[in-house]
Amino acid sequence: MAGTEPRRGFLGAFARAVLWPLSRFFDPRFRGLAQQADLQHDDLVDRIDLNVGAIREVVATDVTTLGRDLSAMRTELVATARADLDSTREANELIGRSVGDLLAEATFASMTLEGLANSFAEAIREDRLLRRIETATGASVDELGEGAAQLLNYATSHRGFAAQRRVWFNPPLSLSYEAGDVRPSNANERLVEVPYVYRALARTEPEASVLDVGAAESIVAYSLASLGYRVTALDLSPYPLEHPGLRSVEGDILNWEVEESFDAVLCISTLEHIGLGVYGGEPAPQGSSDQDALERIWQLTRPGGMLVLTVPFGPASADETQRSYERAGLKRLLRAWTIEDFTVARQQDDLTWLRAEAQSPADDARSVALITALRPAGSAEQA
């Protein structure tokens, strides 16, 4: 039996060497599984040693039964080895499942923490917003703080909350909120465009049909419907107001197909944007989309009907957002129409607009051309 000691020591060392990386690799919570596999290997070594000793005893005492005993021992060794392998495999599978469960739990925990962090950040933003609103509500203008002023300026801008819901109407006069104060800050071209439209339509009957091209962000269509006009509001975005005398059409003047004509067509600060894609429409493939739009407007205006057009006025130019027109270019675009009135208004300062000469301004002052034109009676096609 003394000869079994080196063999046992070798097998034990071999088994421990095999199991050592496994026990070091996994999380400490799984170390018991690795230790269990180590013990099973030690048990296998012990059994092998006992069988080897038994073999030697059989050889020394009874050679005639050696074959039978060796066969039995071989069967026992094979069964023991298979049991050990099955046990080891089950332990590995258990460890693998445990690691998989741990990773799944870690992923879930990470997602949960991220969700909580987002919710917390959203709550902070809402709390700040609420505090700003509460600060401004019921307070005098003298108590208006910088934070509340920034919120009010944002809310009333073309990027604010109303604009995000497409219920923002471009006002002719903007206000600026500051700490402890509110003041008029800017008057845009709507200041002169809107009264010009009402003056031009004064000659029409109250129940006349009116097409407003590019009606969104304006209350003109809604006001005319309230005065008794039968109004169609055409825009890439749906018109946000409803009225019995108002119809909203979501579409592009270049592609809108309809078999009807109108007594008057309005195109207020819209022609300069058509075909550029700045408001979400598809950019026109050619560079004459403004001419195409006027031809389509001609088709939609009854003979003897009216066009009220306003566009940026100045040296002819175009960029990614809009065009600017000079007098000669506008006359070419409107060659099929009879121009009844051509008025130019010019911005003198942030709050002042004045009538100007109907020539291209010599400086960079902001100007707008206000035009009333008629489709000649009896005309059937675009000239």
- The model's pLDDT over 51-105, given as tens digits with 9 standing for 90+, comes to 556 555 544 555 445 456 556 655 665 566 566 556 656 555 555 555 455 455 5
Percent with pLDDT over 90 in the chain: 51
Tens-place pLDDT, residues 168-205 = 999 999 999 999 999 999 999 999 999 999 999 999 99
Full-prediction pTM beyond 0.75?
no
Tens-place pLDDT, residues 231-284 = 999 999 999 999 999 999 999 999 999 989 999 999 999 999 998 877 665 565
347 burial type by CB count under 10 A (0-12 exposed, 13-18 middle, 19+ buried): buried
239's CB contacts (< 8 A; 6+ apart) are: 215, 216, 221, 222, 233, 246, 248
Residue 100 neighbours by CB distance under 10 Å: 10
| Angstrom distance (rounded) from CA 282 to CA 163 | 21
pLDDT of residue 19: 47
Tens-place pLDDT, residues 288-321 = 799 999 999 999 999 999 999 999 999 999 998 8
More confident residue, 107 or 210: 210
| Angstrom distance (rounded) from CA 271 to CA 335 | 16
Confidence of residue 365 (pLDDT cuts 50, 70, 90): confident
pLDDT of residue 56: 57
Question: What is the mean pLDDT of the segment spanning 338-352?
Answer: 96
Confidence of residue 378 (pLDDT cuts 50, 70, 90): confident
312's CB contacts (< 8 A; 6+ apart) are: 269, 272, 322, 323, 324, 325, 366, 367, 368, 369
pLDDT at residue 118 greater than cutoff 50: yes
pLDDT of residue 82: 64
